[in-house]
Structure 1
Amino acid sequence: MNPTAPYPARIAVQLQPQHAPDYQMLRDAVRRCEDAGVDVVFNWDHFFPLYGDPDGAHFECWTMLAAWAEQTERVEIGALVTCNTYRNPDLLADMARTVDHISGGRLILGLGGGWFDRDYTEYGYPFGTRRSRLDALGESLERIEARFARLTPPPTRDIPVLVGGGGEKRTLRHVARHADIWHSFVDVETYRHKASVLARHCDEVGRDPGTIERSTELGRAESAHEARRLADALYAEGVSLFTVGVSGPDYDLSLAEALVAWRDGR
């Protein structure tokens, strides 16, 4: 397979719903993302901040996505990523279908196995093991697909499913079987290896790996120049969706704006 990305380059922003004591800060950040020309606006599915003050301000994922669906007109929206074991998968399918309708067909359903033990402990979910959580993810993906087919009214489109993670035995197998988008944190060498593993899983299920869009985060880049350089290198390998993560209260979009310019200049 030609490694050059078969999809056009897209830029996403993950508005991390932490350290914004007033929801209007998030609402304003969503507006600025759409005005800046980004393609996708993500949040995340946690109940407490992941860095900074561990007891700082924080908002819930899916109620926020419904609000974004009403607020926005163009951008796709979703969670990067929903923790699979926080919600019954049939209920999650119904929630996703509903946000899909509210948004007019702009939802991306991002899913992952879950990992942040504080969420589990304080909200009373069984933490299990990494293996059990990833096995549950595979079971949930099947149930979600089945529920989508039974909902009335059905989703407005085949809701794109994004699976996050790079585990070679289970996560990438789930990607091969169920995902439209694969998201992972990768450099070029790591991506090449993981992509080869994904291709083997796709071969096992008779799927063309080129039908899976590739996604990664660039928020760890220390400058716009570094982010553009890394985006160039990864795009040449087949990655096309690039995300910048930003935290409250400021929600600085300068790096995302530089990447939008990079996208438009290609």
Structure 2
Amino acid sequence: MRFGFWTKNSQSYEDILECCAHAEATGWDGLWFADHFMPNEENVDQPIQEAWSILAALAAAVPRVRLGPLVAGNTYRNPALTAKIAATIDHISGGRVVLGIGAGWQENEHEAYGFDFGSLRSRMDRFDEAVEIISSLLGSHRTDFAGDYYAIAEAPLDPKPVQEPISLLIGGGGRRRTLRTTARWATEWNYWGMPDDIAELCEVLDGHCEDIGRDPAEISRSACALLFISEDSASLDRFRGRDMGRATIVGTPAEVSDVVEQYREVGVDELIIPDFTFGPMDAKKHSMDLFINEVAPNFR
């Protein structure tokens, strides 16, 4: 199994670089960054860093690890621009980029910045066209496409990524559309979920693969979950059983290892841990180290 580190986008670049460099030096396998321009909450007067810019800087500053957006919102950029950005950063990194992409969901930033939000159906239709264009640009000499949302003519993309092909990750759990698009185009799939959630959606993804004649094993699977970890079990009691609004792992290293084993059993290839619950830098590094030193070795 791989273990990815996802650092929050509301920090200064100096703090982002410090914790990401620490992740690389201590044995984490990947760095991930959310693609948003403002918080999804009432108080929007908070700093938010732009994802691809940060990833370009990390590609130059932090060696070895894979890195990518989790995930880039399709509605924020023309797909040709997304492909060009990813290919460029792949060269900066020496071939370590994962092009993570999703249909887009955060309505308040669409309204604030004038991005067309539309209906869920229109966003998914746009997303299908965009993924097809990106895949063609990254792998073909020239790309022609005429759809309802995008049209490009004899479009090149040079230089091509260092990777052949670059890894394309699709994020989301929509059973009918997102997972069908994943089955057709992606090399990786990601979802926020506990092991039972992942197992259920993997069955749906495998079914879509079967429908189009693709081997499901060609698509690696990753999961995200918040983490509260401590050697002091009593200090974790206030977090146990609380509804955090998303998948959450709470426990000592041994207890966390039991949950990670469940992820492995349902076919998860990479567990991605956000630092959103880790607190200031010293506490963050302590939680990171506790996980990577006491939990991760059991699965490598």
Q: Calculate the TM-score normalised by the size of structure 1.
A: 0.90
Q: Is the 8 A contact 2:36 2:50 kept in 1?
A: yes
Deviations 1:18-74 (A, max 9, x none): 1x2x32111111111111211000010001134695321211111111101100111
2:39 alignment counterpart: 49
Distance change (3 Å), C-alpha of 1:160 and 1:209: same
Question: What's the secondary structure of 1:97's corresponding residue?
Answer: helix
Moved beyond 6 Å, runs of 4+:
none
8 Å CA contact 2:110–2:117 kept in 1: the answer is yes
Over the aligned positions, Cα root-mean-square deviation in angstroms equals 1.8
* Number of the residue aligned with 2:188: 181
Tell whether 2:250 aligns with 1:222.
yes
Select which of 148, 155, 158 maps to 1:152: 158
Cα-to-partner distance string for 1:188-234 (whole Å, 9 max, x where unaligned): 33222211111110011111111111100121223344432221101
Kept after mapping to 2: 8 A contact 1:13/1:38: yes
Deviation at 1:110, TM superposition (A): 0.4
Distance in 2 separating the partners of 1:260 and 1:249: 17
Secondary structure of 2:98's partner? strand
Please state whether the residue corresponding to 2:31 is helix, strand or coil: strand
Structure with the larger RCO, 1 or 2 (CA within 8 Å, 6+ apart): 1
Count of residues in correspondence between the two structures = 256
Q: Which residue of 1 aligns with 2:56?
A: 66
In 1, Cα distance between the equivalents of 2:34 and 2:160? 25
CA pair 96-210 structure 1, distance change in 2 beyond 3 A: same
SS at match of 1:134: helix
Structure 1 residue 249, shift from structure 2 partner: 7.5
Cα deviation code 1:141-181 (max 9, x no counterpart):
10001111232221111111111111110000011011111
For residue 264 of structure 1, what is the aligned residue in structure 2?
A: 297
Greater mean alpha carbon deviation, residues 104-113 or residues 240-249: 240-249
1:199 to 206, 212, 223: 206
Question: Which structure would you say has the larger Rg?
Answer: 2
Q: Which sections of structure 2, spanning at least 5 residues, go unmatched?
A: 142-156, 227-247
Residues in 2 aligned to 1:75 and 1:51: alpha-carbon distance in whole angstroms: 32
- Residue 236 of structure 1 corresponds to 265
**Equivalent residue for 1:10, pick from 2, 23, 35:** 2
User: Partner residue of 2:69?
Assistant: 79
Tell me, what secondary structure is at the counterpart of 1:222?
strand
What TM-score results when the alignment is normalised by the length of structure 2?
0.80
Q: Give the Cα–Cα distance (whole angstroms) in 1 for the partners of residues 33 and 8 of structure 2.
A: 5
